[in-house]
Structure 1
Amino acid sequence: MPDELPVSPALFTSAAPNNLNQLSVRIYHSIEEFESPCRPAVTVGVFDGVHRGHWGIIERLVCSAREKNCESVVITFNPHPRLVLGNAEGVRLLQSLDEKLARFSEAGVDVVLVIPFDASFANIDSSDFIRKVLVDIVRASKVITGHDHMFGHGRQGDFALLEEMGRTYNFEVEQVTAIEHCGRMVSSSAIRNAIIEGNLEMANCMLGYQYTLTGKVVRGNQLGKLIGFPTANIELLDKYKLLPSNGVYASLVLQGGVLYRGMSNIGTRPTIDANKLTIEVNIFDFDDDIYNETLVLKFVHRIRDEKKFGGLEQLKEQLSLDKERVKYLLDKDYQYGNLK
């Protein structure tokens, strides 16, 4: 199997587009600029990861909009509310905003309203949010919500309040039940835990796509090239993105619109006592100069823990074994259609 892979559109869905104008979705970045020619179907949430659980809500949203011959509107927030509400310590996200917008576009959403989340907005009462945003500005004809969605100051708004105010302001309300997939209830928290534990298979199963990191290629110490495994060192574009646990991973690498196979390493490179966390990837059969260019890493399998070897020769031997293991696993995935 070649190391340069044919690219299915599905492999792009979790990656941020190079240009948001490429997306089919219409994007507004403030309440004031929002407009819609009809009374749309609406859903509201942070939607970190836009995973399979969210997908069920968005599918109902899009279907409801078509039934009503109106637009589908997702209302989300940026930055993540936890970054504003004084508990930002340890916040790690599954997606950047651009990645999230790309996923909404793939789902067929017509409009995304990204509300700037600040301390002032955080103090809006849930009833006021319904009246001032959903009714007065968005003019919702239907609101679709998840099974446990809470909103407004102090998270006091819930499905019961939406039903009550829907009767007053003439909009329908629908609640989508929780989604179980891969033997677990799907949630952003469950996915984060799986990624931290190195269980990429479970995380990707709940996400519905390979978990990704996007970054710029920066110069490293060239050690990989010296031992026959040149690597691209990655500087993340979003500092709040969740990192998988330290270790070696079978990865897909998207660069310049072409998808390659590779093996990634996250860690401190203990064999050379680097003591600095790095993200690097050895792209198979690839030798282009890509400094300062953007790479998207898609994590497919965790191969092993990072470990300290007795010297560079032992490290080289292990990397050769790792590469064969990665090729075997990705070949198998490709054979069974898991990467299409």
Structure 2
Amino acid sequence: MHRWTSLDQVPPDLGPTVATLGNFDGVHRGHRAVLETVVATARERGLASVAVTFDPHPVAVLHPERAPQEITGLDHRLDLLAGLGLDGVVVVEFTREYALLTPEDFVVQTFVDGLRSRVVVLGQDSRFGLHNSGDVGTMRELGRRYGFEVLVQGTVGEQEQGRRTWSSTALREAIQTGDMETATEILDRPHRVSGEVVHGHHRGRDLGYPTANLSTDSEGMVPADGVYAGWLERPSLPADDPDHRLPAAISVGSNPTFDDVERTVEAYVLDRDDLDLYGETVAVDFALRLRGNDRFETVDDLLSQIALDVERTRTLLG
């Protein structure tokens, strides 16, 4: 998949496209319904498939005081988009000046001149242009004017039994509350936090459970404080390496038993005390929340609970 940081970088020989736009934070099942329509339509018609996304998030630029926490970092987002079979992604730098484009100017610049789109695919709640004043109806009118077709993907995930829509808002709420089962359902994969392994207090090693501590500038939304079952993945290793993806018990929080104040993410790889991960960038995938981030009266009480957490993790992950 080609990755471009402006429309000017899109090569003329790419040809006409089927395209879409969105922030795609999380690249969840609702996003994928739109993106899979883009890819399938492009293949049927012999066109290139392209997604247009933004960095930073538009709300972070226009209203930073109420900007949503980023679910996935840009690199992970692009990797996920690549896995869907797109031919290319344009990452547009979102600025206040860019936000002043009228809906028509935005469409002409992006889809008519930039990508020569024959088809534009949108989610039914898509908005674009100045003050988000453009919507599906606007796009259809502009499509008639400029000669491209508009396909609209309906809401995904809203079932008769009352299941919530698969949206970034619902996903963010699930992660914030530690409801990783719902997060996994919306994502169709475990939620991930990635970062460099750094030195911590080394208490885990002293207690017999050495942990990989992620740096505080890790990418991905950190779930609610607590203990989780999940995996530690090492992207630097080949996918078929036995140490590429390892079962782990994961702790999120400030270690209240030791009166720490800094919030950390640390992962103990089950039954492994031989891993030297310092300086390596790893990914931590959250499967299930086991318990809250409790304070224990003694270190022995903490050790007893950690042993139970490890055994439960082993059982849950098989």
TM superposition score normalised by structure 2: 0.93
Tell me the CA shift for residue 184 of structure 1. 2.0
Q: Quick check: 1:48–1:188 contact (8 Å CA) kept in 2?
A: yes
Secondary structure of the residue aligned to 2:78 is: helix
CA distance in 2, matches of 1:87, 1:54: 24
Over 3 Å counting, the alpha-carbon distance change for 1:181 and 1:103 in structure 2 is farther
1:40 maps onto 2:17 in alignment: yes
CA distance in 2, matches of 1:132, 1:272: 56
CA distance in 1, matches of 2:287, 2:78: 22
CA distance in 1, matches of 2:164, 2:81: 23
Partner of 2:33: 56
Partner of 2:198: 218
Partner of 2:286: 299
Q: Quick check: 2:121–2:153 contact (8 Å CA) kept in 1?
A: yes
Over 3 Å counting, the alpha-carbon distance change for 1:236 and 1:58 in structure 2 is farther
Partner of 2:54: 77
Letter in 1 for 2:209: F
CA distance in 1, matches of 2:227, 2:66: 27
Letter in 2 for 1:78: D
Tell me the CA shift for residue 175 of structure 1. 0.3
Greater Cα offset, 32-41 or 45-54: 32-41
Partner of 1:194: 174
CA distance in 2, matches of 1:238, 1:294: 9
TM superposition score normalised by structure 1: 0.87
Tell me the CA shift for residue 87 of structure 1. 2.3
Q: Quick check: 1:46–1:80 contact (8 Å CA) kept in 2?
A: yes
Structure 2, unaligned stretches of length 5 or more? 238-243
Partner of 1:30: 6
Deviations 1:207-266 (A, max 9, x none): 111100001111111111111111111115446x32100000001110243110011101
CA distance in 2, matches of 1:320, 1:214: 25
Partner of 2:101: 124
CA distance in 1, matches of 2:249, 2:76: 22
Secondary structure of the residue aligned to 1:163 is: helix
Higher relative contact order, structure no. (Cα contacts within 8 Å, ≥ 6 residues apart):
1
CA distance in 2, matches of 1:304, 1:181: 29
Letter in 2 for 1:49: G
Tell me the CA shift for residue 76 of structure 1. 0.5
CA distance in 2, matches of 1:138, 1:316: 58
Letter in 2 for 1:293: E
Q: Quick check: 2:59–2:67 contact (8 Å CA) kept in 1?
A: no
CA distance in 2, matches of 1:164, 1:289: 58
Tell me the CA shift for residue 56 of structure 1. 0.7
Q: Quick check: 1:213–1:236 contact (8 Å CA) kept in 2?
A: no
Q: Quick check: 2:17–2:116 contact (8 Å CA) kept in 1?
A: yes
Tell me the CA shift for residue 101 of structure 1. 0.8
Over 3 Å counting, the alpha-carbon distance change for 1:68 and 1:83 in structure 2 is same
CA distance in 2, matches of 1:326, 1:175: 42
Aligned with residue 249 of structure 1, among 228, 245, 249:
228
Tell me the CA shift for residue 155 of structure 1. 0.3
- Displaced runs of 4 or more, over 6 A: none
Letter in 2 for 1:52: R
Q: 1:233-312 counterparts in 2 under 5 A? A: 233-238=213-218, 241-255=220-234, 256-257=236-237, 258-286=244-272, 287-312=274-299
Letter in 2 for 1:311: T
Secondary structure of the residue aligned to 2:232 is: strand
Partner of 1:100: 77
Secondary structure of the residue aligned to 2:86 is: coil
CA distance in 2, matches of 1:225, 1:210: 27
1:326 maps onto 2:302 in alignment: no
CA distance in 1, matches of 2:210, 2:218: 24
Secondary structure of the residue aligned to 1:48 is: coil
Q: Quick check: 1:214–1:236 contact (8 Å CA) kept in 2?
A: no
Aligned with residue 141 of structure 1, among 118, 130, 146:
118
Over 3 Å counting, the alpha-carbon distance change for 1:37 and 1:268 in structure 2 is closer
Secondary structure of the residue aligned to 1:119 is: coil
CA distance in 1, matches of 2:63, 2:178: 29
Letter in 1 for 2:187: L
Q: How many residues align?
A: 306
1:227 maps onto 2:207 in alignment: yes
CA distance in 1, matches of 2:133, 2:232: 43
Tell me the CA shift for residue 197 of structure 1. 1.2
